[in-house]
């Protein structure tokens, strides 16, 4: 591990100020991803700015939404009564990830900002444009079972590994940011992560030194009909091959007032499936409609040599998720 300085600021403004003065700084939350990367010398920050004690509350906000501090641990988010009752999709997604021990350490901010699990990114004997811009990408000629089928580029085909973010994308969450000199702004979660294009090393829309302070959720109409399904090689402690966050809001006549759909394990960012959502609005919640919507969304898929199976797999998970949600009884949901 490369030597580094450690700072523990008193508040978020202090954290951002340290980061402004020391550009080769990284925020440290639970450390479950960053410290691993430092051990492998893939990340070499000169300064670690500890934010694990900051932004640690969950509270109601005006209009019926919920604000979740960036420092809240994943376990605490999943177990919080308001999250379980009003945003069960989020609880399901978080509990499908990692292990209990890691969720106890991992924070909301760190989960959003965690880096890809592409094996070639972790192996410094391999060429990787994300690790070393312009070096090339050994994944493209390598083993691509876990890589992207949507939105990839000739520079990078990595996927974003978070389960939590897939649920946040479906819930239309926004991410609250604090930058140098008190500048505050909000970004939709779906706009925060980027597709790789020619610059896979730029993974998010955060400006240098910007700190995530919270995630905000709107009031949720989908609490009775939502689900997170994750397909992986092992039943626990494994990243998604594909995952599906699905939610339905049905009108009084039984038609679909609104469908929400986000996919994990398929792209460099949590993939909000807006083509499928648009096709489902106003339709009857029938299996054929769900299949057509899934086919339309995945028509843009570009499989790699070892991951064509993901296309049919994710379509089937989309259809089975929506069929089960449509059949769910309102009262028992």
Ligand X SMILES: Cc1cc2nc3c(=O)[nH]c(=O)nc-3n(C[C@H](O)[C@H](O)[C@H](O)COP(=O)(O)OP(=O)(O)OC[C@H]3O[C@@H](n4cnc5c(N)ncnc54)[C@H](O)[C@@H]3O)c2cc1C
Give contact residues for ligand SF4 (rule: CB under 6 A).
Answer: 116, 118, 120-121, 128-130, 137-139, 156-158, 200
Shortest distance in whole angstroms from residue 168 CB to ligand X: 11
Rounded to whole angstroms, the Cα distance separating 214 from 186 reads 10
Between 75 and 126, whose beta carbon lies closer to ligand X?
75
Is 263 one of the binding residues for ligand X (CB under 6 A)? no
User: Two tokens at 316?
Assistant: 């089937």
Sign of the torsion formed by the C-alpha atoms of 222, 81, 111 and 303: negative
Round to whole Å and give the CA distance between 322 and 109: 30
Regarding 34 and contact with ligand X (CB under 6 A), the answer is yes
Query: Which residue, 63 or 134, is less far from ligand SF4 as judged by CB?
Result: 134
> In whole angstroms, how close is the CB of 195 to ligand SF4 at the nearest point?
12
Tokens of 252: 């009084």
- Taking the complex as a whole, the smallest distance from the CB of residue 121 to ligand X amounts, in Å, to 13
Pick between residue 157 and residue 262 the one whose CB is nearest to ligand SF4.
157
- Burial tier of 126 (Cβ tally within 10 Å: 0-12, 13-18, 19+): middle
> How far is it, in rounded angstroms, from Cα 299 to Cα 114?
28
Cα-flanking dihedrals φ and ψ of residue 177, to 5°? -125, 145
Minimum CB distance to ligand X, residue 248 (Å): 24
Q: Where are the alpha helices (DSSP H) in 172-283?
A: 189-192, 274-280
- Where are any strands of DSSP class E within 220-281? 226-231, 242-250, 256-264, 271-272
CB of 262 to ligand X, least distance (A): 13
Among 29, 83, 95, 118, binds ligand X (CB under 6 A): 29
Interacting span for ligand X (CB under 6 A) from 20-28, 188-196, 245-253, 319-327: 20-28
Q: Coil, strand or helix: which one is 181?
A: helix
- Looking at the DSSP bridge assignments, the partners of residue 25 are 47
In whole angstroms, give the CA distance from residue 148 to residue 11.
38
Stretch that binds ligand X, among 21-29, 249-257, 287-295, 304-312 (CB under 6 A): 21-29
Beta bridge partners of 33: none
Q: Does 325 bind ligand X (CB under 6 A)?
A: no
Using CB under 6 A as the binding rule, whether residue 92 contacts ligand X is answered as: no
Looking at residues 45 to 74 of the shown chain, list those that interact with ligand X (rule: CB under 6 A). 51, 70
The least distance separating ligand X from the CB of residue 112, rounded to whole angstroms, comes to 7
Contacts with ligand X in 164-193 (CB under 6 A)? 164
* Residue nearest ligand X by beta-carbon distance: 110
Count Cβ atoms below 10 Å from residue 266 Cβ, excluding itself: 31
Interface contacts to ligand X, rule CB under 6 A: 26-34, 51, 70, 97-98, 102, 105-107, 109-111, 113-114, 161-164, 211-212, 237, 239
């Amino acid at each position: 591990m490369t030597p580094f300085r450690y700072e523990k600021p008193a508040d978020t403004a202090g954290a951002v100020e340290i980061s402004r003065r020391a550009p080769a700084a990284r925020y440290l939350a639970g450390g479950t991803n960053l410290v691993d990367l430092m051990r492998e010398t893939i990340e070499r920050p000169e300064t670690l700015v500890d934010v694990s004690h900051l932004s640690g509350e969950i509270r109601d906000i005006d209009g019926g939404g919920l604000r979740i501090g960036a420092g809240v641990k994943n376990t605490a988010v999943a177990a919080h009564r308001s999250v379980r009752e009003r945003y069960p999709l989020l609880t399901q997604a978080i509990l499908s990830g990692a292990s209990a021990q890691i969720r106890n350490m991992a924070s909301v901010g760190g989960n959003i900002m965690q880096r890809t699990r592409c094996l070639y990114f972790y192996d410094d004997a391999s060429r990787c444009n994300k690790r070393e811009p312009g070096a090339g990408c050994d994944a493209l000629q390598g083993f691509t079972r876990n890589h992207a089928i949507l939105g990839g580029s000739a520079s990078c085909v990595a996927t974003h590994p978070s389960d939590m973010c897939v649920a946040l994308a479906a819930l239309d969450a926004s991410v609250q940011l604090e930058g140098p000199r008190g500048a505050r702004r909000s970004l939709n979660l779906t706009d925060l992560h980027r597709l790789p294009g020619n610059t896979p090393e730029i993974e998010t829309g955060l400006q240098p030194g910007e700190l995530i302070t919270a995630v905000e959720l709107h009031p949720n109409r989908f609490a009775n009909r939502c689900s997170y399904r994750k397909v992986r090689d092992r039943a626990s402690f494994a990243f998604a091959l594909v995952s599906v966050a699905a939610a339905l809001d049905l009108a009084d006549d039984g038609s679909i007032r609104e469908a929400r759909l986000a996919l994990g394990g398929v792209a460099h960012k949590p993939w909000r499936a807006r083509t499928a959502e648009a096709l489902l609005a106003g339709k009857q919640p029938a299996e054929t409609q769900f299949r057509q919507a899934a086919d339309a969304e995945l028509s843009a898929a570009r499989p790699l040599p070892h991951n064509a199976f993901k296309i049919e797999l994710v379509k089937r998970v989309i259809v089975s998720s929506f069929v089960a949600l449509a059949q769910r009884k309102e009262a028992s949901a």
